[in-house]
Structure 1
Amino acid sequence: MSRAPFQVLVVPFRRVGDQVEFAVLRRMDMNVWQAVAGGGEVGETPQQAAVREAREELGLDRPVRLYPLQTMASIRAQFFADRVNWPVGTYVVPEYSFAIDLTSVGIKISDEHTDVQWLDYDAAVEALRFDSNRTALGELHERLLADDLPLPIE
Structure 2
Amino acid sequence: MKEWRGAAAICVNDKREVLVVRGMGTDLWSVPSGGIEPGESPEECCIREVKEETGCEVEVLRRLQVKQTVIKGIAVTTYYFHVEMSGGYLEVNDPDQNIEEACWKSIGEFARLSQMYPEDLPLLQNITESF
The verdict on how the C-alpha distance between 1:29 and 1:46 changes in structure 2, with shifts beyond 3 A counting, is: farther
Instruction: Indicate the residue corresponding to 1:71 in structure 2.
Output: 65
State the Cα RMSD in Å.
Answer: 2.5
1:6 matched to 2:2: no
Tell me if the contact between 2:21 and 2:53 (Cα under 8 Å) persists in the aligned partners. no
1:27 matched to 2:26: no
- 1:35-66 Cα distance to aligned partner (Å, 9 max, x none): 10111012211111111111211224xx5321
Question: Which structure has the larger Rg?
Answer: 1
Instruction: Indicate the residue corresponding to 1:106 in structure 2.
Output: 89
Unmatched 5+ stretches in structure 1: 80-90, 145-154
Hey, which of these two has a bigger chunk of helix by percent?
1
- 1:80-127 Cα distance to aligned partner (Å, 9 max, x none): xxxxxxxxxxx5221110122237751211332222232112222332
The count of aligned residue pairs is 125
| Greater displacement, 91-100 / 40-49 | 91-100
**CA distance in structure 2 between the partners assigned to 1:46 and 1:104 by the alignment:** 20
Question: What is the percentage of aligned positions where both structures have the same residue?
Answer: 18
Unmatched 5+ stretches in structure 2: none
State the 4+ residue runs in structure 1 displaced beyond 4 angstroms.
Answer: none
Which letter maps to 1:93?
V
